[in-house]
Structure 1
Amino acid sequence: METQNSTLFATSSDGKHSAWATFTSPLRQSKAFTLLWLGHWIAMLGSSVTTVILPLVIYSLTGSTTIMGLAMTVYMLPNVLILPFAGMIVDRIDRIRLLLFANIARFGLMFVAAVLMFTDGMKMPFLFVGLALYGLMDGIFNPAYSALRAQVFTPDIRNAANALSQISIQAVRLLGPPLGGFIGRFQ
């Protein structure tokens, strides 16, 4: 219990409790947390940018809000269909490798889509296939992240790790859409 209390109430050089030291303690205490937190932060930023750019791209290609809705269905359907099997996959495959694979695949899909978008090579069939694959990777990533998070957020850092993670996610949700809107101007 002493270890947990000392983690929760970090002290500054003048002997006073520092809220900042407590808040950031998981970054100093756990390399696994730091890597997971940073990777998730980057992935969330990419996802939040994508949620703004994607409708702009679809609308600029088709001029149809109906196709925008269909595109979201194409994204969500594989995501929903893989979820019943995702737990089994996550339990049988190394979670870190699974996270890396899913994130690299999502990044690759978005990178190719960005190149095609900026070179006027984007066609709807590729976009729909890319969205389906992206949804599939999301359906694998989210359960793998949750399972790995349960391992990494050990009792000695759990409260601060949860707080840091949640504040970071909300900050990314605030930063991503304006960044997406800025990038979307150049399409």
Structure 2
Amino acid sequence: MSGGARGALIDLRPFRASGAFTRMWIGSTLAGLGGQLTIVTVMLHVFELTASTFAVSMVAVAGLIPMILSGLYGGMLADAFDRRTVALIAAIITFVSTLLLAVLTWGQLETIWWLYALSMINSAANSVGMATRTAIVPRLIPRDLLAAASALNGITIGVMVMVGPALAGILVALTGYGWTYTIDVVLMLAMFLGLWTLPALRPEGEIVRPGLESLVDGWRFLKRAANIRMQYLVDIVAMTFGQPLALFPALGAVLLGGGAVTTGALTAAVAAGTFLSSLFSGRIVRYRWHGRGIERAVQAYGAAILLFGVVLLIAAWSPEADEAHANIALIVAASAALALSGAADNISSIYRNTMMQASVPDAIRGRLQGIFIIVVAGGPRLGALYAGTLATFTVLWFPPLLGGLLVIALVGVLVRLTPSFRAYDAEDPVP
């Protein structure tokens, strides 16, 4: 392999630099894959118990508020106590709730209310764990390897989203719900290996006890941190106007055809773009102007969503498709556009995560990660509202077509209102 080709591949130096980071990454990846198994299995389980699509959708809704509240509180805990301990407690809660799912199912004692309640507990504990583990990373590896570590996180997300849902469907079909939950319990054990072997990680700097004062202190810092604030705004714009996930079931039914298979293919295409962009991120992580990188990546994301809308517009003028008659050529084109969007979003995420971890002081990093969870969780749901509502009153191709244009334009305007963001230098990080 040529030196140029090697330089384009993912940077694995974080693994060589820190055994603790490597173990935590492996544990997070395996546990995250198991978590995806459980999320999809719970949805299938609820549908079997109720035969209601609405009941299935409420699984996600029920977990949203606990995820947001626990993300905020988890960030405060991560800034006040030993982060290893906080992450371990969150992992224990997730493990016990998943184990209880398996036990109830094996005993044929499960009910829809148990499934809802345990899903909420899982969602809350995962938010605390996510905010804490992300705040831990800068303590384990040098600052110049943070971007490479974020790219490795893209590999984790890609594997989780590509493999998890499909594997859940196969396991439920072949083995049933009990075995699928049990497999997640086994995969969760890897998380304990990664966390148990960490050193003690008390926050550095002034510690503020969890509570209103701690939350206000975090908001005050964010008010002063123009670059961090701007990356939040840019991400909200991208996810609000450029998130077409809510359209996928309808596209499979009436516009592209192919039914649920098309819906799954479109979803997997986004994850494939995420995975591949991380796999070939060697040069991406060496780019030092992260503000410009975020701007360009998010505008590329908008362009990909615009292209997706154009494909749907062509589909609207093509022969009619339905669940039994798929337009294969346009499904491939739509999947390619979505893969580009997944790649662009992941590149933006690499720079955003690195900016957060490198420029935010250790004593407040957990709270900022907690706020970021709200942005990450809330943006796609606003996107579902935008796409679903606009498609209801217009046509299916219009939300991504308009949304892609809005993302490109609004991000360009926002970034130019904050010159320091475009000038952000990873070698001299300023929040």
Report the TM-score, using the length of structure 2 for normalisation. 0.37
The aligned counterpart of 2:150 is: 162
Residue of structure 1 in register with 2:89 after alignment = 101
The residue aligned with 1:82 is: 70
Question: 1:72-93 CA deviation, whole Å, 9 max, x = no partner?
Answer: 2222221122233222111112
Q: Residue type of the partner of 1:157?
A: L
1:141 to 109, 122, 129: 129
Unpaired runs of 5+ residues, structure 1, are 1-15
Q: Residue in 2 aligned with 1:67?
A: 55
Partner SS state of residue 160, structure 2: helix
Q: How does 1:19-58 map to 2 (within 5 A)?
A: 19=7, 23-58=11-46
Indicate yes or no: 2:184 matched with 1:178: no
Letter of the structure 1 residue corresponding to residue 92 of structure 2: I
Q: Which moved more, 1:115-124 or 1:98-107?
A: 115-124
Residue 32 of structure 1 deviates from its aligned partner by 1.9
Match for 2:112: what amino acid?
A: M
Deviations 1:89-113 (A, max 9, x none): 1111211121122122212211221
Which structure 2 segments of 5+ residues have no match? 178-431
Match of 1:13 in 2: none
Distance 1:160 1:72 in 2: 31
Distance 1:153 1:29 in 2: 6
Conserved? CA contact 1:99–1:145, under 8 Å: yes
Whether 2:121 is the aligned partner of 1:115: answer no
Instruction: Give the number of aligned pairs.
Output: 173
- For 1:56 and 1:81, locate their aligned partners in 2 and report how far apart those are by CA, in whole Å: 26
Deviation at 1:156, TM superposition (A): 4.3
- Equivalent pair of 2:14/2:145 in contact (CA under 8 Å): yes
Output the CA distance in 2 between the equivalents of 1:69 and 1:24: 39
**Cα separation, 2, equivalents of 1:20 and 1:101:** 38
Against the structure 1 CA distance between its residues 101 and 20, is the aligned structure 2 distance closer, same or farther, given a 3 Å change threshold?
A: farther
Higher RCO, 1 or 2 (CA under 8 Å, sep at least 6)? 1
Cα deviation, residue 53, structure 1: 0.9
Cα distance, 1:144 vs structure 2: 0.8
Q: 1:104 to 1:182 in 2, by over 3 A?
A: farther
| Deviation sequence 1:165-185 (CA, Å, 0-9, x none) | 212321232111121112221
Note the alpha carbon deviations across 1:37-91, whole angstroms, 9 max, x for none: 1121122112221222111011111222222222322222211222332221111
User: Root-mean-square deviation (CA), in Å?
Assistant: 2.4
Over the matched positions of the two proteins, sequence identity in percent amounts to: 26
Whether the 8 Å contact between 1:43 and 1:103 is mirrored in structure 2 is no
Q: How does 1:5-20 map to 2 (within 5 A)?
A: 18-19=6-7
SS in structure 1 opposite 2:143?
A: coil
Amino acid of the structure 2 residue aligned with 1:79:
M
